[in-house]
């Protein structure tokens, strides 16, 4: 069976939309995003004991506010926040989104729905839309990701980031039958692409959601594979950090002085 996930070189921020697939329609399509912000932030305990993870501050603003500002500046006028744990605190902080110059809508879980289940609750989704986790600190060009997804006519596109893992130990290779050692590798490094928690979807993917109420994005992607629908990869080499762990959150505080100006450079290049 061939690998249904394909990779492509991501467009730069100055990419002109000229694809014959939909050359004139892409700029007119509404840019809309769904942010998954319903988790309990268990990995960030005890930091999230009194404050929900999306409201954890970086340089004086909640991480979720930085995400919303990035999206707004890149042309996403409407964002839906999928909320569960501590929903009222997040609603009280962001309100209608007027303070940020955008429209913020909410879909509220009455029971845990996972990362994909809330998509069933979002009203009036456009034909193509962005979905992302609320605990992401990145310089990714979200608009370029969505345009790449639309131009290529994909059902689903997953943003992926190169991740290098260095082994703490020397690795020994040997043949299973004779136990003869064939190779020594002293603390090798392994490179792999990891899921960034940022996706572009066509509305048709909702048919691949499993029947159970609580399901994850991984369940959705496996459902698409079961339907033999290719899943597209969008490689990104810039800055990306999942702040879901205390060490990563501390790293985000250190990196912010460099990352926040880089986010503005992305905006300037659009």
Catalytic choice (187, 203, 212, 229): 187
Q: Is 61 exposed, middle or buried (0-12, 13-18, 19+ CB in 10 A)?
A: middle
Give the pairing of strands 240-242 and 136-138: antiparallel
Q: How far is Cα 192 from Cα 163, in angstroms, rounded to an integer? A: 5
Q: How far is Cα 246 from Cα 251, in angstroms, rounded to an integer? A: 9
* Structure tokens, 235: 């490689």
Q: Return the HEC string of 110-126.
A: CCCCCCCHHHHHCCCCC
* Structure tokens, 243: 């702040």
Cβ atoms < 10 Å from Cβ of 112 = 14
Look up residue 212 and give its DSSP letter.
Answer: S
Q: Which residues contact 216 (CB under 8 A, 6 or more apart)?
A: 114, 115, 116
Q: Which residues contact 58 (CB under 8 A, 6 or more apart)?
A: 66, 137, 243, 252, 253, 256
Handedness of CA 142, 95, 243, 38 (dihedral sign): negative
Q: Is 60 helix (H, G, I), strand (E, B) or coil?
A: coil
- Per the DSSP assignment, residues forming a β-bridge with 137 are 241
Q: Does 166 qualify as catalytic in the annotation?
A: no
Cβ atoms < 10 Å from Cβ of 194 = 12
List the catalytic residues. Answer: 187
């Amino acid at each position: 069976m061939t690998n249904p996930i394909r990779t492509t070189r991501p467009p730069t921020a100055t990419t002109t939309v000229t694809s014959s697939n939909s050359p004139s329609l892409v700029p007119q399509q509404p840019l809309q995003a769904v942010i998954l912000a319903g988790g309990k932030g268990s990995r960030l305990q005890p930091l999230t004991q009194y404050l929900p993870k999306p409201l954890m501050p970086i340089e004086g603003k909640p991480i979720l506010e930085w995400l919303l500002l990035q999206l707004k500046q890149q042309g996403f006028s409407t964002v839906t926040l999928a909320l569960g744990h501590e929903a009222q605190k997040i609603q009280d902080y962001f309100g209608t989104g007027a303070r940020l110059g955008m429209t913020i809508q909410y879909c509220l879980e009455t029971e845990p729905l996972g990362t994909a289940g809330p998509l069933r609750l979002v009203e009036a989704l456009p034909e193509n839309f962005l979905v992302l986790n609320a605990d992401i600190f990145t310089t990714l060009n979200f608009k370029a990701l969505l345009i790449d997804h639309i131009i290529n006519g994909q059902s689903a596109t997953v943003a992926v980031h190169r991740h290098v893992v260095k082994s703490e130990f020397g690795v020994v290779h040997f043949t299973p039958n004779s136990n003869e050692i064939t190779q020594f590798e002293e603390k090798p490094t392994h490179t792999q692409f990891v899921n960034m928690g940022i996706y572009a979807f066509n509305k048709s993917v909702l048919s691949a959601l499993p029947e159970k109420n609580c399901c994850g994005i991984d369940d959705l992607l496996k459902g698409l594979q079961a339907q033999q629908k290719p899943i597209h990869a969008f490689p990104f080499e810039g800055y990306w950090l999942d702040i879901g762990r205390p060490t990563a959150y501390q790293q985000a505080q250190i990196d912010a002085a460099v990352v926040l100006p880089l986010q503005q450079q992305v905006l300037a290049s659009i």
